[in-house]
Amino acid sequence: MHISIIGTGYIGSVTGACFADMGHHVIFVGRDQKKLDLIRAGKSPIFEPGLDQLLTKNRKNIETATDLSETVQRTDLTFICVGTPPKKDGSSDLSQVEVVSKTIGKSLGSHTKYHTIITKSTVLPGTAEDFIIPLLEKESGKKASVDFGISSNPEFLKEGTAVEDFFHTDRVVIGVQDQRTREILETLYSPLNVPIFTTTIRTSEMIKFASNAFLATKISFANEIGNLCKASGIDSYDVFTGVGLDTRINPKFFRSGLGFGGSCFPKDVNALIAHARSKGIDPIILHSVIETNEDQPRRMIDLLKKHLDPKGHTIGILGLAFKPDTDDIRESRAIPVIRLLLQAGAKVSVYDPEAMGNFRELFPDISYAVSGLEVLASDAVLIITEWKEFESLDYHGKLVIDGRRIEKALREAAVYEGMCW
């Protein structure tokens, strides 16, 4: 098939590269010429393991373009993969979705072939029906699910393992309102040989939010029980190994510690809270998920203060990315931790293998070390991200507060505090 991918961020670049690898002709459409040039050169515009190789290997199947209208005319499917950043009240900013929907609509007006538009951007339940479809119909003068196909197809990729997740996902969720679109999307995904759940568009939009909200809830639950474990001299990792053996519960996403960051969980849970409020529902559990998450950085500083007053001391930070194998620092727990340290009068020395460039823009005045080893020379060390290389540092004689459970630090440090163990 001929596929347009609108947006060269994390969802767009991974999805497009993976479709190209499945043998489809993919045209990436974006506004950022630098990113398009990288893609054309077979290089990933984001830090994501395996993506460079995939783009290089499939260069013959890949094109780039800046003219969305013309690209729609040349393709069968258009995936909307633009950003939906959070607004101040927690709801999603749909301005990019609006601009591209209008352009696609105009282009559809003079399109002779059947074309299908699929939303992969994370949008709240009802967005396709109440916002995207009306724009497409108005601009094209055509009817959705009759003259053109419309679908919602949320992604469940994790940064750092996104390529692997695409090909070996637990499920593909497809929201449609007509048989023809259903067949097109099911045919597209059938080579993956994974369960495909087809439902209404509104339901598929909700599945995305419910999935992320549940995973975030699981983590905050593990942290709440983990805090209790810590206060009771119990290792929460052993507790959740025991709990996770129950197949009704499963062991994944029970790693307690410093809490969740990233561009998805905090944003999506807050958006769901705003959505619930707009429907007159007070989402008590979701509020607590956020509150528990926001409290973990403070707990980390309290653990440090048990051993050392941060004032006037140099505190080392191992890890700035919101998780390993990415340079993404959005909502990273490093941000509140460092703010609290600076407020307490500490000097801060940080190291991350990939995320220092991004972090420098946010905190230009702290000290950026050249290695984890240099950070270890600080008066105390806080572990924020579980990068593999931190497993090979020498922690002997150090004061370590660990937010992510680095086993070597646990074994070697002179003074060691795990957050929930």
Question: How far is C-alpha 225 from the geometric centre of its chain's CA atoms?
Answer: 25
What residues numbered 109-148 form the site for ligand UGA, per CB under 6 A? Answer: 122
Q: Does residue 264 belong to the site contacting ligand UGA (CB under 6 A)?
A: yes
Q: Does residue 254 belong to the site contacting ligand UGA (CB under 6 A)?
A: yes
Question: How far is C-alpha 375 from the geometric centre of its chain's CA atoms?
Answer: 28
Contact 348, 286 (CB under 8 A): no
In the set 24, 120, 202, 255, which binds ligand UGA (CB under 6 A)?
A: 255
Binding-residue total with ligand UGA (CB under 6 A):
21
Q: Does residue 159 belong to the site contacting ligand UGA (CB under 6 A)?
A: yes
Nearest distance, CB of residue 300 and ligand UGA, angstroms: 13
**CA triplet 54, 171, 123: central angle to 5 degrees?**
85
Amino acid at 324: P
- Active-site position among 18, 81, 229, 264: 264
> In angstroms, what is the C-alpha Rg of the chain?
23
In the set 212, 227, 236, 358, which binds ligand UGA (CB under 6 A)?
A: 212
In the set 28, 221, 237, 265, which binds ligand UGA (CB under 6 A)?
A: 265
Identity of the residue, 122 or 181, whose beta carbon is nearer to ligand UGA in the bound complex: 122
**Phi first, then psi: what are they for 402, rounded to 5°?**
-110, 120
**Phi first, then psi: what are they for 29, rounded to 5°?**
-115, 130
Q: Does residue 383 belong to the site contacting ligand UGA (CB under 6 A)?
A: no
Residue 231: HSE in the Cβ half-sphere, 13 Å Cα cutoff: 8
Q: Does residue 157 belong to the site contacting ligand UGA (CB under 6 A)?
A: yes
What residues numbered 308-327 form the site for ligand UGA, per CB under 6 A? Answer: 322-323
Q: Does residue 405 belong to the site contacting ligand UGA (CB under 6 A)?
A: no
The whole-angstrom separation of Cα 69 and Cα 362 is: 37
In the set 237, 260, 359, 387, which binds ligand UGA (CB under 6 A)?
A: 260
- DSSP states along 132-154: IHHHHHHHH---BTTTBEEEE--
In the set 167, 189, 253, 416, which binds ligand UGA (CB under 6 A)?
A: 253
Strand order in the sheet with 116-119: 62-65, 25-29, 2-6, 77-80, 116-119, 149-152, 172-176, 196-199
Tokens, residue 22: 């499945």
Nearest distance, CB of residue 115 and ligand UGA, angstroms: 26
The whole-angstrom separation of Cα 254 and Cα 280 is: 31
In the set 185, 213, 219, 338, which binds ligand UGA (CB under 6 A)?
A: 219
Q: Does residue 167 belong to the site contacting ligand UGA (CB under 6 A)?
A: no
Q: Does residue 156 belong to the site contacting ligand UGA (CB under 6 A)?
A: yes
Q: Could you confirm whether 264 is annotated as catalytic?
A: yes
Site of interaction with ligand UGA (CB under 6 A): 122, 155-159, 212, 215, 219, 253-255, 257, 259-262, 264-265, 322-323
Active site residues: 264
